[in-house]
Structure 1
Amino acid sequence: MSQTIPLHSDPAFYQLLADSYARLLGRPLVPQAMPLAESTEWLYEHAPFAVLAHNTDPDPVFIYGNKAAQRRFGYSWDEITRLPSRLSAEAPDREERRQFLARVQRLGYEAGYKGVRITKSGQRFMIEEATLWQLLDAGGTLHGQAVVIPRTREL
């Protein structure tokens, strides 16, 4: 039986994140050029910003959350990668979040987003200057959506 690599350690998944981001936004996801394995590890372990990605399920589930995202939302890797992404927002904020995701689907990405999110323990916080983009491979296949959250603040 073969062991699959968790997405946080998978260079191919990192490549999907980084390439789709660069293609849509015209700038690199990781601030400096590094070998692939190093970039994969840096984004997960050391990035000073949160990165989350969810799949294409009808009720999308997070498939990736780097350490910065795990700390901010209060979930472990195993917990965050089982969480429907809609649960990262409180019920009253979910419609606004759904409209935002639909805009991203139409346009490919959106930058400068802010909105209220909720931690595992129920604490509310504001995400600011977030960039959400479509996880599209080179062939144009959609694998989900990802977000970079450079800044948050307590509410």
Structure 2
Amino acid sequence: MDYPSLANSFLAPHVKILCRSYRKLIGSALITVPDASYPAIAEALYNAPFAVVSHDTSQDPLFNYANLKALDLFGFTWAEFTALPSRLSAEQALQEERDKLLAEVNLNGFIRHYSGVRISKTGRRFLIKNAVVWNLYDHHSVYAGQAACFADWCNLD
């Protein structure tokens, strides 16, 4: 999947899944913009001041979306991030905690107020706070992965 741009409407079909799943499970909008078309929403989400990431449904899920804030925070290019198994966003010692979190999301559909340590491409550790993590469902209500958004983090190193 190419990085979000005007040429591909900022991946509006994927953003539609992110936003619709969020609204269905959380009960509010992931992002609000004056122009409610999905290309406009997708562009706003890509440039949002908070981080948004998602991963696919493969056995070892790969990231398949990150907005600019998330790419900057994790220190990856789009191509690098979307080739990364999402489990590698947590240190090895913390992956069991991450697995428990994702199992809880699978069971309940979402969680709010998640906090956890993540690691950047350079090994810099940072704590994300008050994240929302939710399941993704396509327009046929078929499970399509998981996503997270957060606006609060601090560097630990």
TM-score (norm 2): 0.91
1:43 corresponding residue in structure 2:
45
Q: Which is worse superposed, 133-142 or 30-39? A: 30-39
Q: Determine helix, strand or coil for the equivalent of 1:10.
A: helix
**Alpha-carbon offset, residue 81 of structure 1:** 0.3
Map 1:1-155 → 2, pairs under 5 A: 6=2, 8=4, 9-34=10-35, 35-44=37-46, 46-155=47-156
AA paired with 1:82? A
**Alpha-carbon offset, residue 107 of structure 1:** 0.4
Tell me if the contact between 1:7 and 1:63 (Cα under 8 Å) persists in the aligned partners. Answer: no
Which stretches in structure 1 are left out of the alignment for 5+ residues? none
Instruction: From the superposition, tell whether residues 107 and 152 of structure 1 become closer, same or farther in structure 2 (CA, over 3 Å).
Output: same
**Alpha-carbon offset, residue 37 of structure 1:** 1.2
AA paired with 2:125? R
AA paired with 1:18? C
What RMSD over aligned residues (CA atoms) do the two structures have, in Å?
Answer: 1.2
Distance 1:66 1:42 in 2: 10
Distance 2:137 2:3 in 1: 16
**Alpha-carbon offset, residue 16 of structure 1:** 0.5
Number of equivalent positions: 150
Runs of 4+ in 1 over 6 A off after TM superposition: none
Distance 2:136 2:3 in 1: 14
Distance 1:23 1:33 in 2: 21
Distance 2:57 2:92 in 1: 21
Q: Provide Cα deviations, 1:16-68, integer angstroms capped at 9, x if missing partner.
A: 11000000000001133422211111111x20100000001111000001100
Which stretches in structure 2 are left out of the alignment for 5+ residues? 5-9
Tell me if the contact between 1:118 and 1:124 (Cα under 8 Å) persists in the aligned partners. Answer: yes
